[in-house]
Chain A
């Protein structure tokens, strides 16, 4: 072994003794069932790096990035620059949570199981729905699972998607549509939102499986969600709501405006943006769908001595028991990120969650006033917004974004004629001023 080392504890003496116990002459002998034509091909990889070298190498790669979170970051589109409390990071990095497997052996996994049970409770409360699961991958695949769940309880195959549903989630649903055997129809867009009348219109000819509505929508604006959900309900469709968890201290949750299934991107709860690589799909539904819900479920029970404890439950729905008859194929989920979400929600509590929403929203409204007063840009719609809003200006969005970036300001995502700016409790008033000033300059030129 080179000085770089690895993580195996075997001494030469150990290897000798173990081989003797097996009755093999060398480690290579243990691979003889692999046909010789396949064994030990030439593989060209860089030399091993010792820990100080690998630390330097990956740090060097990281230093070739400019992190938006270190500056005036107004990027939104489902991933927002929220603050992750140090206590949350410390708890999530505990090896007892981080290096455990899926809690199949409940008695040896009460820590993960109880924390997940608390997570499920918090997510159900957040959405205003009956039950939640122990997480899915992200909002995009969460939407796929929501449609799949709806399809287990209804015969129709047609899914109506509101024009304000995040394009990324819609694209993921399109990828899966052929396999699921569903048809996707995007409703007409009216003033950066949905006309409630469009549902009845679309449902007149053919039955509808589900209506998907995002609140606030992908432009940041509030939809007439209750009215739309009611029209969807009249059409016999399952109502699927897409939410932004950090607005739910202020805004009516999916359960209040009439959704039966809700999904959301949970990254902002306790996780860094990480290039989109620490997502967690929040998922909740009404009692009607509970027993068919995808993913792991943690249930309360008692032990042989009558003490309260927790287990993975309703496993008979899942792939390892039901195989091809399972409703979903999910096995590994995003448990550690879900635990982080629970730690963060407990840190915020009901008041902190509302304050994050208010603070983000107050900054957004302050920015909107200043932008309309001092720049050539205008809020794209008169619909109310919460913490993200689309702006329309004298120049194409990609040019605007690029010029703002040169001024140290990030905005997006970009749409055909408008672009988003999003606000969180991490944005300082001075950064809002920088955004307004940069927009003033860019709008003039």
Chain B
């Protein structure tokens, strides 16, 4: 490791020296002064760093080297689908950089054609009727759909519905979105096989139920085999069914949420459609809906006229209105469109096929040692339990940190909440057998180390990274959010 990695880096503010500059701006002769009266002017300058361009580039390049990323490491973060992001997509997205959303439609026919075509292709993939690209992330798709449900029932004069049912294994965004939409949450338990307990669901249904939000395959990586019965029960109760599409990668090209009876599904383009996640975003959470919900989709909407020209409508009778200042993360949408066109159906089926093969293979390699409680029918990810290491004084948290020393990002830990000491592993289809073998060896060696009484070594991991274990409790207690 280079010394730049082991030295504690200065902040950009510590590198700042009065009078240094990277900026380069034009100056024009003879312009009038900005006529801004004193009472509107800034009193004290923002304390931004003063830094030259070489130092700026070196500072942030050195920081970037302190990151694990898909480009430099295996990143089996369950539920997050961290797979290789094809480079050509970035180049193609940049071709649309100079467009302003207030340009007339005749200026932006290529962008509108892309949105219109991609909408139809996503509907084909999900078995739905219409789609919107406005949601900027999966959770944004969730709240958008819930606001559509709200309006749907309001227009029908059905004001008694106020409760959304969510399985105990759901992503935390689901219940948080429900609350933001002004609804209540009712939790339905999972049965012994990790799937929704249908009898318990029946007990929760009634005229107060808005709908159900469920991930399929669910967060344990297993398919909800009785999904048609579940969506049927919802519809019989006059309620609606939402598919959290975070795990679409497992079934893309092989099964469709629309065929399962869902009324709406969101797709995380930054997962299944392989756009770079940016260290926390941007994502994109387009919603695909059936005919029942299509009128309520947010604006703007792209339409095609009979002459083949594309137009944009900013309002219509039933829409919930806009959910974004413009129309969502278009730069992400372009990347995902290029990915879909690149792969076609054949490529997409190979995505789900190899993703599921990789997860099952990895499970077979480590499952003899790490218990996988809901093991039947594993798809693209599996949830192992690190509970057996507790008697040796080692927790899943320590396993995660020890994996970093092997050069692997850790799996998702302590989620879903239904598995004790959970390690949620999603290898994705872009990893080779050699990578999976080496990762399996690392997991087994860590278990060996724990059982050989080397708990202390694991509890103090990582040992080879630029920093050792960070004190999270201190960060929350002595809150310091700025330099």
Interchain CB contact (< 8 A) of A350 among B35, B50, B324: B50
Q: Is the CB of A300 within 8 A of B480?
A: yes
Q: Is the CB of A115 within 8 A of B281?
A: no
Q: Is the CB of A137 within 8 A of B279?
A: no
- Decide yes or no whether B372 CB sits under 8 A from chain A: no
Residues of B within 8 A of A253 (CB): 42, 46
Bound-state Cα–Cα, A51 to B324, Å? 32
Q: Is the CB of B331 within 8 A of A274?
A: yes
Given A105-B404, A334-B278, 15 further pairs, Cβ under 8 A = A30-B353, A31-B251, A50-B342, A58-B92, A106-B472, A111-B63, A112-B279, A124-B481, A274-B96, A274-B331, A275-B96, A301-B471, A337-B278, A359-B26, A361-B36
Residues of B within 8 A of A318 (CB): 172
Q: Is the CB of A110 within 8 A of B472?
A: no
Residues of A within 8 A of B474 (CB): 301-302
- For chain B, the count of residues having a C-beta within 8 Å of the partner chain is 207
Given A4-B344, A114-B63, A178-B150; A300-B475 close (CB under 8 Å): yes
Interchain CB contact (< 8 A) of B23 among A35, A78, A348: A348
Given A31-B254, A98-B278, A346-B22; A179-B124 close (CB under 8 Å): no
B371 CB, min distance to chain A CBs, angstroms? 18
B213 CB, min distance to chain A CBs, angstroms? 12
Q: Is the CB of A172 within 8 A of B21?
A: no
A14-22, A198-206, A436-444: which lies at the B interface?
A14-22
Residues of A within 8 A of B86 (CB): 7
Interchain CB contact (< 8 A) of B34 among A33, A313, A362: A362
Q: Is the CB of B472 within 8 A of A256?
A: no
A4 CB, min distance to chain B CBs, angstroms? 7
Please encode chain A, from 42 to 80, with 1 for each CB lying within 8 Å of some chain B CB and 0 for all others. 011111111100110111111111111110010101110
Bound-state Cα–Cα, A272 to B100, Å? 9
A406 CB, min distance to chain B CBs, angstroms? 10
Which of B9, B101, B147 has the most chain A CB atoms closer than 10 A to its own CB? B101
Measured CB to CB, the nearest residue on chain B to A256 is: B43
Q: Is the CB of B23 within 8 A of A347?
A: yes
B278 CB, min distance to chain A CBs, angstroms? 3
Q: Is the CB of B404 within 8 A of A6?
A: no
Residues of B within 8 A of A125 (CB): 46-48, 482
Residues of A within 8 A of B83 (CB): 7
- Decide yes or no whether B443 CB sits under 8 A from chain A: no
Mostly, the B contact residues are: loop
Q: Is the CB of A299 within 8 A of B480?
A: yes
- Decide yes or no whether A410 CB sits under 8 A from chain B: yes
Interchain CB contact (< 8 A) of B342 among A4, A334, A350, A429: A4
Residues of B within 8 A of A106 (CB): 467, 470, 472
Residues of B within 8 A of A181 (CB): 182
A-B contacts, 22 of them at CB < 8 A, read A21-B364, A30-B357, A34-B225, A37-B228, A38-B259, A39-B255, A55-B91, A100-B277, A105-B410, A111-B66, A175-B320, A248-B42, A274-B97, A275-B111, A277-B327, A278-B330, A301-B471, A314-B476, A320-B173, A331-B139, A346-B56, A413-B102
A311 CB, min distance to chain B CBs, angstroms? 5
Instruction: Give the interface residue-count category, chain A.
Output: 35 or more
Q: Is the CB of B113 within 8 A of A114?
A: no
Residues of B within 8 A of A63 (CB): 110
Residues of B within 8 A of A347 (CB): 22-23, 53, 56
Interchain CB contact (< 8 A) of B330 among A64, A274, A355: A274
Interchain CB contact (< 8 A) of A132 among B46, B98, B482: B482
B201-209, B287-295, B385-393, B429-437: which lies at the A interface?
B429-437
- Decide yes or no whether A273 CB sits under 8 A from chain B: yes
Q: Is the CB of B356 within 8 A of A27?
A: yes
B71-79, B235-243, B448-456: which lies at the A interface?
B71-79
Given A69-B100, A402-B104; A55-B88 close (CB under 8 Å): yes
Interchain CB contact (< 8 A) of A27 among B147, B357, B481: B357
Bound-state Cα–Cα, A333 to B278, Å? 9
Residues of A within 8 A of B39 (CB): 226
Residues of B within 8 A of A90 (CB): 57
Bound-state Cα–Cα, A33 to B216, Å? 12
Measured CB to CB, the nearest residue on chain A to B107 is: A66
Residues of A within 8 A of B304 (CB): none
Residues of A within 8 A of B341 (CB): 46, 48-49, 54, 57-58
Residues of A within 8 A of B124 (CB): 43-45
Residues of B within 8 A of A358 (CB): 34
- Decide yes or no whether B422 CB sits under 8 A from chain A: no
- Top-3 shortest CB links A-B: A277-B330, A276-B326, A336-B278
- Decide yes or no whether A416 CB sits under 8 A from chain B: no
A138-146, A189-197, A229-237: which lies at the B interface?
A138-146
Given A7-B84, A48-B342, A313-B476; A351-B50 close (CB under 8 Å): yes
A424 CB, min distance to chain B CBs, angstroms? 11
